[in-house]
Amino acid sequence: MADARVKVEALCKSFWDESRGEVRAVDSIDFDCRQGEVFGLLGANGAGKTTTLRMLATILKPTSGRASLNGYDVLTEPESVRRSLGFYSASTALYPRLTGKETLEFFARINRYPPDLVEERVESLIERFGIAEYAGARVEKLSSGMKQKISIARTIVHDPPVLIFDEPTVGLDVMAAIEMQQVIRELRDEGKTIIFSTHIMSEAEKLCDRIAIIHQGRILALGTLEEHRQATGKHYLEDIFVHEVMAVTEVESSL
Amino acid sequence: MDWYDIWILYRHEIRSALRERTIVMNSILMPVFLYPVMLWVMSTGFLFVAGLAERSQSRVVILDPPAAHPELLDSLRAHTNIDVREGVVGSDAALELILSGELDALVEFLAPEAEGRALDDNFRVAIHYDRAVERSRRARARVESVVADYRDEWLDREAVALSIPDADRAQFRILEDNVSSGREMGALIMGMLIPMFLVLMVALGCLIPSIDCTAGERERSTWETLMTVSASRLSVVTAKYFYVATFGILAGVLNVTAMFVSLGAIVAPLLAEVGDGTRAFQFSLPLMALPVMIVAAIALALFFAAAMMILASFARTFKDGQAMVTPVYWLAMLPILLGQQTDRTLTPAIAAIPVANAAMMIRDAINGVFLWPLMAETLAVLLLMVVACLLLARTILQFEDLLLGSYDGSFWRFAKERLLKKNAGWNAAKTEIGGG
């Protein structure tokens, strides 16, 4: 695909476990994501979503296969990949002893946003997310809602073309989750490429332009919601998901 | 590795650390205020105890005082701190009273030995006391002082009576002459204190930052955030390493400065007060000692920072980190003991022992001894240890589970499983740290 910002080909990741030996967490997956698209990775806990996203973010090294972000190879150009990427997950916390403003400045500079534009960029994000009132307070003193806004601003402060949101609404209340979904839509409209992982079906239904159903490290089906409906004859994503997973389970048990 | 990234990360670590109470307390406030406060408490306590001792009474029994020396008995009775007890019959009874703590000393006058009979009215004195009891030891010292003074006066009188000239008598006197200068005596005290505390404070300065920037990051869930920034892994680790070493150096330098000031302002007047007053202690350093101490502090900080960060990187929580790193702090004390032998200087063998070599090098410098080839050996050994630690750290951090904090074992288990066993499965899980 010509305008693909993210390309994944036969990507695998195996871990070594003392008792179980080699464990294959991601098993030869392929997909690509386009500019201005929200690409959903839908799967149960332990399906391989986070491992896939961590490989794309170069936090983990693939065992085999290829992946590139914004034209940069994750294996050979990890620093350029990370410069082109904003990564948000429940396990990417903020530095508690820094203020919100210091946090944004630090992440802008370390991700090589032009130094003379950092101040302007930080101020614009403070205004955009309405965090001016507490931008000078230390993060440790803020509520979880305030931290969430600063976290999103931290993710996009260096204006990366690709964004990864790994289960971003886990632990959020309904209003905060809706706010997060709204931000993701806005970012897509700005032309960002977004990879969004979740195990919440309704979220994927509402947000994602295309959805990959991932199970036991493999992508079982990939397409728009309409394409999934046509392929399975099911209307709701929850039913589609169960249908795909059950089909694989039946095949495996018949072997 | 990119020095711009390292600078940004380093500044971020320092700023964050200066807002953490535990780090500021351990690495800045304690090194600065520990000695002034400690020395003030010690000097006040010392003066208080000395005052109490000065006023205390020594309970003494005197048996068989010589009839020819009534002045001696009068001197003992006249002493303001000696209480001569009457009514105790026999040495056995007196000894029992000493053991039970009701008496401090027994002064027993005995007939002279055969060779001492040449002098008329000569005598011997046996002072019985309990060495395990402070007030009994003090009683012995007081009695001995009175008896010695009396003996000198008596011998003077006898010599005059026998027409022995003063010059001949002077030959039998013991005269003491301390040839040390005040600066040398000051250097003796500084040589015992400064190297030991410099090493310990550098280690203490590294302790909390090394845990904070590894296990602390994992506990706060900021480690993964940091792994997603565009800086290379090597830059991240290097910045953290410099940050930990900076706090070690800071703690060491602040501590030496505080100790130096405290010794001059608190200890010197105290020593002048309790000493014989003939020579004042001077706490001054040779000019070259300062750069030597700073270089030693830097080398020690680089070594401790590397060693502590390796161990702390196995911890998932701050508490685990403290348990893993604290032994390094205590281990640092063992080699220092070698440096406490005041009559030694740096030798090729000692220069090969990390930490002990630095402590000895600092002590030599305080005493104005600069053995340049051995100092070079000392720095070479310390830097070799630093390089060894960094190579080990690089090897360890190539394992993804350790880098991401999902490994749940200790350094020793890790070394046994992966570094010594060479398991192919574990090696497959390695990632190249330098590559990003």
**Domain-by-domain residue ranges, chain B?**
3-45+182-435, 58-170
* pLDDT level of residue A56 (50, 70, 90 thresholds): very high
Nearest-by-CA chain B residue for A57? B228
For the four alpha carbons of B305, B306, B311 and B312, in that order, the dihedral sign comes to positive
* A8-28 average pLDDT score: 86
CA–CA dist B18, B10 (Å, integer) = 12
B5 Cα to chain A: minimum distance (Å): 6
* pLDDT level of residue B118 (50, 70, 90 thresholds): low
* A97-126 average pLDDT score: 95
Q: Do A60 and B429 touch (CB under 8 A)?
A: no
Q: Which of A15, A87, A89 sits opposite B429 (nearest CB)?
A: A15
**Would the pLDDT of B406 be above 80?**
no
Query: Chain A residues with CB inside 8 Å of B416's CB?
Result: none
Q: What are the start and end residues of each CATH 3.40.50.300 domain in chain A?
A: 4-84+161-254
Q: Is A137 on the interface with B (CB under 8 A)?
A: no
A62 Cα to chain B: minimum distance (Å): 9
Lowest mean pLDDT among A53-62, A182-191, B3-12, B86-95: B86-95
pLDDT at A48: 92
Q: Do A80 and B220 touch (CB under 8 A)?
A: no
Q: Do A78 and B429 touch (CB under 8 A)?
A: no
From the options 3.90.580.10, 3.90.1300.10, 3.40.50.150, 3.40.190.10, give the CATH code of B58-170.
Answer: 3.40.190.10
Closest CA relative to residue A92, chosen from A139, A32, A162, A40? A139
Q: Which of B228, B229, B426 sits opposite A16 (nearest CB)?
A: B426
Q: Which of A18, A111, A154 sits opposite B230 (nearest CB)?
A: A111
Nearest-by-CA chain A residue for B232? A79
Closest CA relative to residue B221, chosen from A91, A81, A199? A91
pLDDT tens digits along B246-287: 999 999 989 888 887 887 777 777 666 655 555 667 777 788
Q: Is A80 on the interface with B (CB under 8 A)?
A: yes
Query: Chain B residues with CB inside 8 Å of A154's CB?
Result: 225
Say yes or no: domain A4-84+161-254 is CATH 3.90.1150.10.
Answer: no
Q: Which of A89, A93, A110 sits opposite B229 (nearest CB)?
A: A110
> pTM for this structure?
0.80
Structure tokens at A187: 């970012």
pLDDT tens digits along A153-176: 999 999 999 999 999 888 788 888
**Would the pLDDT of B427 be above 60?**
no
**Would the pLDDT of A80 be above 70?**
yes
Q: Do A22 and B404 touch (CB under 8 A)?
A: no
For the four alpha carbons of B433, B208, B301 and B415, in that order, the dihedral sign comes to negative
Q: What is the DSSP string of chain A?
A: -TTEEEEEEEEEEEEEETTTEEEEEEEEEEEEEETT-EEEEE--TTSSHHHHHHHHTTSS--SEEEEEETTEETTT-HHHHHHTEEEEETT-PPPTTSBHHHHHHHHHHHTT--GGGHHHHHHHHHHHTT-GGGTTSBGGGS-HHHHHHHHHHHHHTT--SEEEEESTTTT--HHHHHHHHHHHHHHHHTT-EEEEEES-HHHHHHH-SEEEEEETTEEEEEE-HHHHHHHHS--SHHHHHHHHHHHHHHHHHH-
User: In a 3-state reduction of DSSP, which class is residue B109?
Assistant: strand
Q: Do A14 and B435 touch (CB under 8 A)?
A: no
pLDDT at A78: 93
Nearest-by-CA chain B residue for A14? B429
B21 Cα to chain A: minimum distance (Å): 11
Secondary structure tally for chain B: helices H, strands E: 20, 4
A191 Cα to chain B: minimum distance (Å): 22
Which is more confidently placed, B318 or B9?
B9
**Would the pLDDT of B435 be above 60?**
no
pLDDT at B280: 67
A207 Cα to chain B: minimum distance (Å): 24
Q: Do A18 and B225 touch (CB under 8 A)?
A: no
Nearest-by-CA chain B residue for A108? B229
**Would the pLDDT of B433 be above 50?**
no
* pLDDT level of residue B89 (50, 70, 90 thresholds): confident
User: In a 3-state reduction of DSSP, which class is residue B84?
Assistant: strand
B225 Cα to chain A: minimum distance (Å): 5
Q: Which of A57, A77, A95 sits opposite B16 (nearest CB)?
A: A95
A249 Cα to chain B: minimum distance (Å): 29
Query: Chain B residues with CB inside 8 Å of A59's CB?
Result: 224, 227-228, 404
| E strand or H helix that includes residue B411 | helix B411-414
Q: What share of chain B is helix, strand, coil (3-state, %, to 5)?
A: 65, 5, 25
pLDDT at B327: 86
pLDDT at B274: 56
Lowest mean pLDDT among A3-7, A133-137, B219-223, B383-387: A3-7
Q: Number of residue pairs across A and B with CB atoms under 8 Å?
A: 86
Q: Which of A80, A91, A106 sits opposite B12 (nearest CB)?
A: A106
Which of A19, A22, A79 has the highest number of chain B CBs within 10 A, making it the mutation to test binding with B? Answer: A79
Q: Is A96 on the interface with B (CB under 8 A)?
A: yes
Q: Do A16 and B12 touch (CB under 8 A)?
A: no
**Would the pLDDT of B30 be above 90?**
no
% of chain B at pLDDT higher than 90: 31
Q: Do B224 and A59 touch (CB under 8 A)?
A: yes
pLDDT at A176: 86
ipTM: 0.90
**Would the pLDDT of B209 be above 80?**
yes
Phi and psi of A66, rounded to 5°?
-135, 155
Q: Do A59 and B228 touch (CB under 8 A)?
A: yes
